[in-house]
């Protein structure tokens, strides 16, 4: 099993290319089930989750071809992938596939919309909380789907004439459920209005792609999304937006170590709240023609309090990384997690490096320390794993991060990108 070895103490200087967003690529790939034409997606990151979803879509009958790699310094950092689903050959998403990646449950929307039926395994819990699918089921029922849960599977059927547009207001904001209902509603009869919808850039990206395919969606990026159903969708070509979580992660890495780095092929507008928090911590962040410049010269890291919230608030997917940054602040900071329960599992691993963190309910109190010391640590989930990398970059001596398969789910070539900016980071295979 691979591990990541980090020797801390080096500033970061150079250019880091930002990959396409995993959280946008996955629903965009699933949208290929809605049409028998070809959907071409550019800027698709090469990640374990993307590869797993390719296998899942293949199970449903999607033909997939990869070409048009964009080369950078001899390495491929993005892919163009063509998805063609002439016929859906299987409307069942089995447990052995869905259990490996929660987002694969989202196929229920397109399968139900196009084929009128779907049998999809319940995804079960995960390391950062239970994340139930109640909102998905309630929303599809609002579109007149008949749903029964039996033997761990959601069995859904549409009326004889197809799903029927309706008004549905989410009891709480859910990115995944917004993706699913928006896709399902594109082929429904009549108009669907989704209230309290997620406003994340990835939701907007999916809506823009669906519109390019012939859907009629308005209001994306606001709390009310309106979808006027159409008879069918066509193919399209769409570029996956930059990964705002990767952008924020590398910005925090520079704030942690000091240095001067250009984050290329990204956009400040995707994560204003997070970048403002990093500025308050002491980094200078400015837009450039190619992306974002992040600089921290010598000054200490200032303590900053944050609360995670749905977009445009501070992203829960950057909470662990920001905690890693705050471990070396020159004071006391507080981080309150409001999105997921059980998302502080990285606290004990950061403590192994010398961090001083205490928990009280949903809030972590971080007392900054002057020095961290390298140690063996274990990744518990995707975002927690990269928080350990950030801390390791500033720790004295060697940090060895195990279970890096979590990192491979969401960060493309992390060790290569950091090494090119002067970090001492390498992958070690046992």
- The DSSP result for 399-430, as a single string, is EEEE-THHHHHH-TTHHHHHHTTT-EEEEEE-
Helices (H), 259-362: 272-280, 319-326, 346-352
Sign of CA dihedral 27, 32, 33, 34: positive
Tokens 């547009």 locate to 165
Residue 172 in marked binding region: yes
Closest CA relative to residue 200, chosen from 168, 172, 223 = 223
- List the structure tokens of 167: 């008004």
Residue 280 in marked binding region: no
Residue 99 in marked binding region: no
Residue 373 in marked binding region: no
Sign of CA dihedral 189, 191, 195, 197: positive
Residue 325 in marked binding region: no
**By CB neighbour count within 10 A (0-12 exposed, 13-18 middle, 19+ buried), where does 303 fall?**
middle
Residue 10 in marked binding region: no
Residue 55 in marked binding region: no
Residue 100 in marked binding region: no
Cis (ω within 30 of 0) for the bond into 397? no
Select which of 85, 126, 209, 421 is catalytic: 126
Residue 173 in marked binding region: yes
Asked about 85 being catalytic, the answer comes back as: no
Helices (H), 65-191: 95-98, 108-115, 134-142, 175-186
Residue 369 in marked binding region: no
DSSP letter, residue 221: T
Residue 149 in marked binding region: no
Residue 302 in marked binding region: no
Q: Which residues are annotated as a binding site?
A: 22-23, 102, 131-135, 172-175, 317, 339
Q: Which residues are annotated as a binding site for phosphoenolpyruvate?
A: 22-23
Q: Which residues are annotated as a binding site for UDP-N-acetyl-alpha-D-glucosamine?
A: 102, 131-135, 172-175, 317, 339
Residue numbers annotated as active site: 126
């Amino acid at each position: 099993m691979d591990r990541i070895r980090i020797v801390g103490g080096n500033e970061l200087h150079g250019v880091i290319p930002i990959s396409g967003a995993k959280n946008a690529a996955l629903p965009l790939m699933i949208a290929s089930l809605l049409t028998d034409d070809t959907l071409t997606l550019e800027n698709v990151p090469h990640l374990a989750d993307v590869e797993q979803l390719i296998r899942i879509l293949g199970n449903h009958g999607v033909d997939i071809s990869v070409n048009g790699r964009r080369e950078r310094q001899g390495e491929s950092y993005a892919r163009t992938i063509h998805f063609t689903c002439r016929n859906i050959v299987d409307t069942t998403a089995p447990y052995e596939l869905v259990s490996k990646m929660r987002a694969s449950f989202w196929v229920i929307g397109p399968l139900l919309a196009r084929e009128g039926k779907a049998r999809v395994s319940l995804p079960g819990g995960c390391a950062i909380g239970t994340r139930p699918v109640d909102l998905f089921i309630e929303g599809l029922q609002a579109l007149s789907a008949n749903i029964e849960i039996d033997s761990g599977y959601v069995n859904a059927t549409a009326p004889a004439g197809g799903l029927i547009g309706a008004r549905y207001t989410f009891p709480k904001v859910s990115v995944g459920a917004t993706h699913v209902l928006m896709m399902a509603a594109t082929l429904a009869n009549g108009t669907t209005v989704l209230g309290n919808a997620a406003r994340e850039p990835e939701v907007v990206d999916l809506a823009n792609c669906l519109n390019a395919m012939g859907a009629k969606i308005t209001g994306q990026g606001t709390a009310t999304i309106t979808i006027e159903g159409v008879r069918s969708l066509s193919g399209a070509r769409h570029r996956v937006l930059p990964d705002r979580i990767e952008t924020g992660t590398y910005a925090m890495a520079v704030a942690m170590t000091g240095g001067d780095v250009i984050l290329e092929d990204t956009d400040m507008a995707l994560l204003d709240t997070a970048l403002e928090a990093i500025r308050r911590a002491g980094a200078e962040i400015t837009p450039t023609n190619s992306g974002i410049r992040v600089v921290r010269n010598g000054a200490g890291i200032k303590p900053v309090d944050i609360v995670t919230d749905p977009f445009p608030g501070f992203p829960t997917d950057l909470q662990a990384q920001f905690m890693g940054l705050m471990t070396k602040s020159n004071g006391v900071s507080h981080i309150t997690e409001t999105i997921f329960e059980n998302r502080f599992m990285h606290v004990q691993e950061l403590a192994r490096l010398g961090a001083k963190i205490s928990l009280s309910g949903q809030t972590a109190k971080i007392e900054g320390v002057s020095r961290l010391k390298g140690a063996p640590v274990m990744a518990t989930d995707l975002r927690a794993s990269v928080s350990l990398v950030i801390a390791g970059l500033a720790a004295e001596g060697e940090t060895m991060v195990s279970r890096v398969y979590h990192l491979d789910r969401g960060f493309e070539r992390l060790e290569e990108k950091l090494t090119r900016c002067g970090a001492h980071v390498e992958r070690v295979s046992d």
